[in-house]
Amino acid sequence: MTTHNTAEAVSPAQAPARTAQHRKYLMCRPEHFTVSYTINPWMQPANPTDTAVAVAQWQTLYDMYLKLGHEVELIDPIAGLPDMVYTANGGFLIDGIAYGAKFRFRERGPEGPAFMDWFRDRGYDVREPVEVNEGEGDFLLVGDAILAGTGFRSTGDSHREIGEVFGREVVSLTLVDPRFYHLDTAIAVLDPVQGVEHGGPEHANIAYLPSAFDEASQAILAERYPEAIRVSDEDGSVFGLNSASDGYNVIISPRAKGFEVQLRERGYNPILIDLSELLLGGGGIKCCTLELRGPAR
Ligand code: ARG
């Protein structure tokens, strides 16, 4: 069971005990990584990219997941789809049901069916999307609810669709800063498990960047997650929130200095991994990681 800290800031000695939970992830080795088009403000095709560096950095993340005891599955990279390394966008899975992605931009379009084929081959129950949505880039499971982003990529209609697929509450949040075009660049789910003793998803734990959201969404987040870590604009703008947590270990960018301290104060174990090369495509740690939740092979 997870305990939750209500104090503003506590010393590590007072911080609650956190528990690492086992995770199963899907990743894609960036063998074809490059930046050849621009679909977010980070992507500048004129800046050179180094595929070997991208692969080496990605490998450190992959190795770390295994070291932490997690399982990692791999999908084969496809030539001509340089963004396929960002597997978070490939779908959204709970209990063995895989809601497929339908990409906003033509350049990534073929990734949708490629990921759905992979899910099908592995025995997941695939639900083909009608609406434009970019998977776990814009959908995050927190407690029983799905937080859903819109504004740049996934549409409001996809929020309705995902609610129908999973029969869960969907909380729509509107992103307003083009640098944070996917929800997973503006919110990190630190602990998706709801506090049983409190009986509500509001006691699961997140971190977020308030300025990435419109006012109405900021109010929703403040109300639902009063204990959330609010990161600084400085940490947000180096993709500090694009991180992966198992409930105790939180893999973050080494550039997110303040976030690292905030995590430690709350009893998490920040682990620094630099994916600077993949940031040239506008992605980070979380973007390269899709959680495979549920019973399939
Ligand atoms: N170049 C990719 C795009 O713009 C990056 C995707 C990042 N993924 C994420 N989950 N935030 O679509």
Q: Report how far ligand 1's centroid is from the alpha carbon of 189 (Å).
A: 18
- Tell which phi-psi region holds residue 120, choosing left (phi > 0), alpha (psi between -120 and 50) or beta: alpha
E-state strands within the chain: 24-27, 71-74, 91-94, 97-100, 125-127, 139-142, 145-150, 170-174, 187-191, 205-208, 229-230, 244-245, 249-252, 269-272, 290-291
Residue 102 DSSP code: B
Question: Residue 182 catalytic?
Answer: yes
**What are the boundaries of each domain within the chain?**
24-291
Q: Report how far ligand 1's centroid is from the alpha carbon of 83 (Å).
A: 7
- Tell which phi-psi region holds residue 282, choosing left (phi > 0), alpha (psi between -120 and 50) or beta: left
Q: Is the CB of 241 under 6 A from ligand 1?
A: no
Interval 135-191: pLDDT, tens: 999 999 999 999 999 999 999 999 999 999 999 999 999 999 999 999 999 999 999
Where does residue 193 rank: exposed (0-12), middle (13-18), buried (19+ CB within 10 A)?
A: middle
Question: Residue 159 catalytic?
Answer: no
Does the pTM surpass 0.95? The reply is no
Q: Report how far ligand 1's centroid is from the alpha carbon of 136 (Å).
A: 10
**Does position 237 have pLDDT exceeding 80, yes or no?**
yes
Residue nearest to atom 6 of ligand 1 (CA): 283
What is the number of other CB atoms lying within 10 angstroms of the CB of residue 182? 28
Mean pLDDT in the chain?
Answer: 93
* pLDDT mean over 16-20: 87
pLDDT band at 15 (very low <50, low <70, confident <90, very high): confident
How high is the pLDDT of residue 13? Answer: 58
Fold of 24-291: L-arginine/glycine Amidinotransferase; Chain A (3.75.10)
Q: Is the CB of 33 under 6 A from ligand 1?
A: no
Interval 80-105: pLDDT, tens: 999 999 999 999 999 999 999 999 99
Interval 194-232: pLDDT, tens: 654 444 443 579 999 999 999 999 999 999 999 999 999
Concatenate the DSSP letters of all residues of 149-211 into one string.
Answer: EESSSS-HHHHHHHHHHHT--EEEEEB--TTS-SGGGTEEEEE-S-BTTTTBGGGSEEEE-GG
